[in-house]
Structure 1
């Protein structure tokens, strides 16, 4: 037997052992919330460090930033990656998965959940060759909240603290109890606007505020915000109205979260949207 064949067999053996470990422990129902959150916390740190390393070598403007600006640069790298994965998972569960479909007769829609949906709220899993990649939502919101409080007000004001705190509480409750996961995913679709918001900050800090990319980014933010953070919230409130009888059967905590958290976030989204409109009008006026 050649050495290369032995190496392949040894690798397969280790891979099989890893798969057994993942199946019997990591993806076992009682451990899903905890393993996904733990793995996600480690991933947040990994992505933060990778963003710092890559930016140091490939972005000239990065090395000229202040310490606070570099921290925010790295932190936005983490939030962008989280937003991409949680948006994809949320769109899947809300619009394509049969789990929350009205045609599915498997119990109340407010109490439906699955190992994958629970794991998605605690973390996002995707394959890259033979490696597993983890990214959390619960851990992300609270770790980012910690960064905002630690460096307050450099990374955001009171509105960001309120947003992250309410989002973290709602996602954690839905993940641990299995209640209201559909409405949690509806709200999390709004994260689709986060990469554009972060890109706008990157363009601004890199001195590209007068570029065409900055203008296009502003237009994309306008339409993305309108769809994901205004119209989608209207659809969510309408969905709650249609399924009011099922929502009323939730635990009192879940019931309050379904009504209170989206209402507060929707109000904040409208206020931010007004600022976006004024900013876009100002940018277009300067172009003319």
Structure 2
């Protein structure tokens, strides 16, 4: 008879091979990538929410003293932080380092370029926005008012369109770089909720938010519009609905960013005034 240990190894190897075939031929097959990514993004949100709750319960003494809605928002911001880190890294890679959207590559019009990885990453982001929007509606308006609903709806439509059609993914990633501000904004809420509003860390955080917002949500949007202007001969070939999204969504988000930036400046001035 074959040793039990060797049998176990063969069985495990067989299951491993079947799993690899399932992932390669089905879950990550080109037509199914968007749907796999969206479901994966939603599942990841649930997993991060539970991990944030577990870690916070074990390592943050003040967590157990929060109200129920504070604990929910604390965990929810853990999700948005992880998503922001993921999509910022992917966006920076595709916009500035990858050859996929480079002008030096003869891969056709820049507005129609995509890859399995770029599509998958957008799908994960769609999954996050859907999960977060669901929580906003569930607890409305505790996790955010109408401006957050508008932001998420615009994001879902624009990102999902780029994911499913393959059009305008470069500009979608340019807009998604703005998520780089989310971790520092969430940190500010954490510090405030933990009673550290008068700390030096809170002051430094406010300054970091100011510069991060200026770069990622003001200057970067100007760069996006300038890039569209330079490549308008290619952009003009986009489907009318895609063209509509390309001009309307960044414009609306840019206005919202300017409004929020005004609040950031006022808040920073107020904090600095108290320090004098």
**Aligned counterparts of 2:56 and 2:146: Cα–Cα separation in 1:** 29
Q: Which residue of 2 aligns with 1:231?
A: 219
Displacement of 1:140 in angstroms is 1.0
Q: CA deviation at 1:19?
A: 2.0
Q: Is the 8 A contact 2:95 2:173 kept in 1?
A: yes
Unmatched segments (≥5 aa) in structure 1: 123-135
Q: Which has the higher helix share?
A: 2
The equivalent residue for 1:175 is 163
**Distance of aligned partners of 1:220 and 1:3 in 2 relative to their CA distance in 1, 3 Å threshold:** farther
Hey, what does 2:193 align to over in structure 1?
205
* 1:272 maps to 2:260: yes
Matched residue, 2:111: 110
TM-score scaled to structure 2, two decimals? Answer: 0.95
| Number of residue pairs aligned between Structure 1 and Structure 2 | 275
Which position in structure 2 is the counterpart of 1:190? 178
User: Contact between 2:40 and 2:127, CA under 8 Å: does it hold in 1?
Assistant: no
1:261 to 2:249 alignment? yes
Structure 2: gaps (5+ residues):
none
Quick check: 14-23 or 52-61, which moved more?
A: 14-23
Q: 1:246 to 1:67 in 2, by over 3 A?
A: same
8 Å CA contact 2:175, 2:221 repeated in 1: yes
Q: Which residue of 1 aligns with 2:40?
A: 39
C-alpha displacement of 1:18: 2.1
Once the two structures are superposed, the pairs formed by residues 37-186 of structure 1 within 5 Å of their partners are 37-122=38-123, 136-186=124-174
Q: 2:26 maps to what in 1?
A: 25
What's the offset of the Cα at 1:106?
1.0
CA apart distance, 1:6: 6.2
**Secondary structure of 2:86's match?**
helix
SS in 2 for 1:179: coil
Structure 2 Cα separation of the partners of residues 88 and 105 of structure 1 = 25
CA RMSD, 1 decimal? 1.5
Cα contact 2:37–2:127 (8 A) shared by 1: no
Identify if the C-alpha distance between structure 1 residues 5 and 252 changes in structure 2 by more than 3 Å, giving closer, same or farther.
Answer: same
Q: TM-score, normalised by structure 1?
A: 0.91
Cα distance, 1:20 vs structure 2? 2.1
Cα distance in 1, alignment partners of residues 186 and 5 from structure 2: 46
Of 60-69 and 182-191, more deviation after overlay is shown by 60-69
The whole-number CA distance in structure 2 between the counterparts of 1:53 and 1:229 is: 33
